[in-house]
Amino acid sequence: MTDIWGSSDFAYVCLRDAVRTTSFQNAIERTVQRGDVVLEVGAGTGILSLFAATAGARKVFAVEIDDYLCACLEETVRANGLSGVVEVLRGDARDIELPSAVDVVIAELIDTGLVEEQQIPVLNSLLERGVATRATRFVPDAYSTEIQLMWMDEHLYGHVIRAPRHEWPFFAGDDRWTQFRAVERSQRALVWSGRFAEGPHEPEVGRNLTLPVRPPGPVNAVKLCGRVLLANGLEVGATNVMNGDKLLPLGREHDLPALDLSLGYGMGKGLRSVLVQVKEP
């Protein structure tokens, strides 16, 4: 994907997201203890590794798979006088050599439902290899995925568009973005939840749910959304670049008092893996 999509831009956008970045800063300050060995996977600009070093970590290993971002991160570490504390490691955290039994793992590989990014595959690998243990503290600590029935206007610019909609908060209420109509048709229902320290977690998720349609009306989509528990008492939902709600079309409208859904997907396997079926009465 990096062959056609610039990775440095997204890392910078993450830096600009004040809710996401300051929430992680608060969680790291609550979690990292003086003298800890910290591992960050998917370090990007390295801001979270810098937070860990400032919080008192003895050693921070910052893992980044992108060569250019690694080179920038090495310059950042030197510019902050932290070369003796923060060590940049180039490669995929699932297979490069890493220290064992680290005290803290920082992993912001969070996408809605943990579907499109590699949070679960990477953390499963760290636990299976003994890099992380049950004693390791994780930032974020846990995640929960929810689903909601929706109706959305599929007629856009004179055509029917049936494609996922990534509803980032910054789209709302800004006239520079076209506002697409969508109506909530149910309460949110829990699909999956787990603490990362309690893994490895089975990446395949399957659920059967019955959701009452309230308020009554047609349903032609579902919303996939989630909550990130960063540390005790610190939870965030969708931010401008992390965990934005996703509206997924069902293919046709259903006008029933309740919908029986069969939902399946693979965490880390992308939206292509998401299968939502409506069981007809």
- Any idea which residues carry the catalytic annotation? 108, 117
Question: Taking a C-beta distance cutoff of 8 angstroms, is the pair 139, 230 a contact?
Answer: yes
Q: At what angle do helices 7-16 and 67-79 cross, to 10 degrees?
A: 40
Task: For strands 137-139 and 104-107, give the pairing.
Answer: parallel
Q: What is the DSSP string of 232-269?
A: TTEEE---SSSS-EEEEEEEEEE--SEEEEEEEEETTS
Question: Taking a C-beta distance cutoff of 8 angstroms, is the pair 63, 91 a contact?
Answer: yes
* 215: preceding bond cis by omega (within 30 degrees): yes
The tokens for 62 are: 């910052």
Residues 6+ apart with CB under 8 A from 127: 133, 199, 200
Report the C-alpha gap between 218 and 254 in whole angstroms. Answer: 5
Report the C-alpha gap between 46 and 15 in whole angstroms. Answer: 9
- Taking the C-alpha atoms of 109, 115, 121 and 126 in order, what is their torsion angle to the nearest 10 degrees? 40
Report the sign of the C-alpha dihedral through residues 153, 270, 230, 210, in that order: positive
